[in-house]
A and B are shown apart, each in its own frame.
Chain A
């Protein structure tokens, strides 16, 4: 029996105000796949993603990546774990005054000491890898452009390259297309999808656009009020199921592709 790649059990986040941001969420990712998390705002999607690499500290529960439980780790252990988890943000979160290449290279920070990173001595292999990644995300030749000189879509590509630079075992994407126009959103999702399939890595994506989620994800998790209310195939997302997740028919954010029986 193979160990699940990512196993979440009883994950809870309580802010002490009575409302639980996450209420005993449990699921597992057994094989490399793109899992989309959907739900209305406040449902706990972002909290779920951030509790995995402890950008938000979970109150209780376990998060096992390749068998290692993350919440109880020490600072050094957490650092080692985080460098294996790549994260892509809604606001791209690049360091604006640095160049594209410098931003991509920050993906290796978790693997080197402070002094090594200061002098940018990452080794030839890593530098080659960085250039290859830039080529992969379609930004060849951009390495010396300052990050604040890029468009939103380009910045997100750099974000993807940075995450991949970590050679991660898991990819987390927190609303990566929310700040992009529909066209660019599709392109970024296609890029992410392609990368995940090639690298055969599990990925968890927090997404509010249901149509995009259905088009690109292998599996959908629906959240409502901190609870997991749906876990299955995108094709199984009927109108009723969506109403469950979003709490009402009026909240459906986008018309579903398969309303009529096939």
Chain B
């Protein structure tokens, strides 16, 4: 909202986030070019799209009303997802605590630190579905693969957060406790844990919620949970059942997120 004096140039343009207007024009042109290129490479068949819209209408019609009659399978699948989420979170945390401590530059010797960090990075790079497939191939279909997948994902995330918290904490109390003659475990428990614990509980809740989301999809590759049921429903064209499942998943995830937000806010 700048003031213009009558003697400045008549053309004033609002500043743009791109720094200069030329950059902005270049950006918009680049976007347009990209759109043209990508859409042509993807062999965008407009016929197919139109047909898709028609089919969409048909599918949505068949989805409503949702079919809750097969509630037993539905509930079994949901419950299994919840169980996978809980167990994975717990397992993940149990492994994450020692590895997280090892991955903190200010507590662990260098080779240990590097090894722990390497282990963590592996888990965070690949999508959980990819990890799920590997575990399915190694341990067979079913919830075991699911638990292993999500445990590994949880451990990576929590260990990284824990290591970061430890690296950011105040070293003063640690030094003071060392000076009283306390041993390593005592220093960790009385000086490190109180500083990182509150945030860690928040992270635990967040991870539980995250695992709840993920547990609903790993079934798609056979790692247990409601994802398997959903995938089967789609392939059998049971759209009304699929709709019921979708509603349940959405409700569960939304509930999980709501509770998680609520608890974490109260923890502050």
Direct contact of A and B (CB under 8 A): yes
Could you tell me if A93 and B175 are in contact, using CB atoms closer than 8 angstroms? Answer: yes
Q: Do A114 and B186 touch (CB < 8 A)? A: yes
Q: Is B180 an interface residue (CB 8 A)?
A: yes
* B160-208 at interface with A (beta carbon < 8 Å): 172-173, 175-183, 185-186, 189-191, 194-195, 197-198
Partner of A55 from the list B175, B186, B190 (CB cut-off 8 Å) is B175
* Chain A positions within 8 Å of B198 at CB level: 97
In the complex, how many angstroms separate the beta carbon of A77 from the nearest chain B beta carbon?
A: 11
Whether B180 lies near A107 (C-beta < 8 A) is yes
Contact with A along B11-40 (1 / 0, CB 8 A): 000000000000000000000000000000
Complexed CA–CA distance, A79 and B180 (Å)? 8
Measured between C-beta atoms, what is the minimum distance from B176 to chain A in Å?
Answer: 4
Return the contact of B190 from the options A83, A95, A163 (Cβ within 8 A): A95
A93 to B189, CA, bound (A): 16
User: Is B180 a contact partner of A110 (Cβ separation < 8 A)?
Assistant: yes
- Give the distance to chain A from B4, nearest Cβ to Cβ, in Å: 53
Asked if residues B185 and A109 are in contact (CB atoms below 8 Å), the reply is no
Chain B residues closer than 8 Å to A106, beta-carbon distance: 176-177, 180, 182, 190
Q: By the criterion CB–CB under 8 Å, are A82 and B179 in contact?
A: yes
Interchain nearest-CB distance for B27 vs A (Å):
48
What residue of chain A has the Cβ atom nearest to residue B197's Cβ? A97
For the complex, count residues of A whose C-beta is within 8 A of B: 33
Given known A-B contacts A97-B194, A114-B189, A89 and B181 have beta carbons under 8 A apart: no
B190 cross-chain contacts in A, Cβ below 8 A: 95, 98, 102, 106, 109, 117
Q: Name A70-127 residues within 8 Å CB distance of B.
A: 79-87, 89, 91-98, 102, 106-107, 109-111, 114, 117-118
Report whether A91 and B181 are in contact in the complex, using a CB–CB cutoff of 8 Å. Answer: no
> How far does the alpha carbon of A28 sit from the alpha carbon of B189 in the complex, in Å?
37
Q: Which residue of A lies closest to B172 (CB)?
A: A93
Which residue among A94, A114, A163 has the maximum number of chain B CB atoms within 10 Å of its CB? Answer: A114
Question: Are A85's CB and B179's CB within 8 A?
Answer: yes
Say whether A97 contacts B195, CB under 8 Å: yes
Contacts A98-B190, A109-B181 given: A87-B176 contact, CB under 8 Å? yes
Say yes or no: is A47 at the interface (Cβ < 8 Å to chain B). Answer: no
Instruction: State which of A91, A102, A166 has its C-beta within 8 Å of the C-beta of B180.
Output: A166
Chain A residues numbered 48-85 whose CB sits less than 8 Å from any CB in chain B: 53, 55, 79-85
Q: Is the CB of B186 within 8 A of A83?
A: no
**CB–CB A114/B183 < 8 A:** yes
Nearest neighbor of A84 in chain B, beta-carbon distance: B181
Looking across the interface, which residue of chain A has its beta carbon closest to that of B189? A118
CB of B189 to closest CB in A, whole Å: 7
Do A114 and B185 touch across chains, with their CB atoms under 8 A apart?
Answer: yes
Q: Is A219 an interface residue (CB 8 A)?
A: no
Closest to A110 in B: B181
> Counting chain A CB atoms within 10 Å of each CB, which of B181, B183, B185 scores highest?
B181
Chain B positions within 8 Å of A110 at CB level: 180-182
A165 and chain B: residue at smallest CB distance: B180
Does B183 lie within 8 Å of A79, measured CB to CB?
yes
Known A-B contacts A98-B190, A118-B189; the reply to A109 vs B177 at CB < 8 A is yes
Instruction: Collect the chain A residues with CB atoms within 8 Å of residue B181's CB.
Output: 79-84, 109-111, 166
**Cβ-closest chain A residue relative to B196:** A97
11 interchain pairs, CB-CB under 8 A: A79-B181, A85-B179, A89-B175, A91-B172, A93-B175, A94-B176, A96-B195, A106-B182, A109-B190, A114-B186, A117-B190
Q: With A94-B176, A106-B176 given, name 14 new contacts (CB 8 A).
A: A53-B179, A79-B183, A81-B181, A83-B180, A87-B176, A87-B180, A89-B172, A89-B175, A95-B173, A95-B190, A98-B190, A102-B190, A109-B180, A117-B189
Binding site for A on B (CB under 8 A): 172-173, 175-183, 185-186, 189-191, 194-195, 197-198
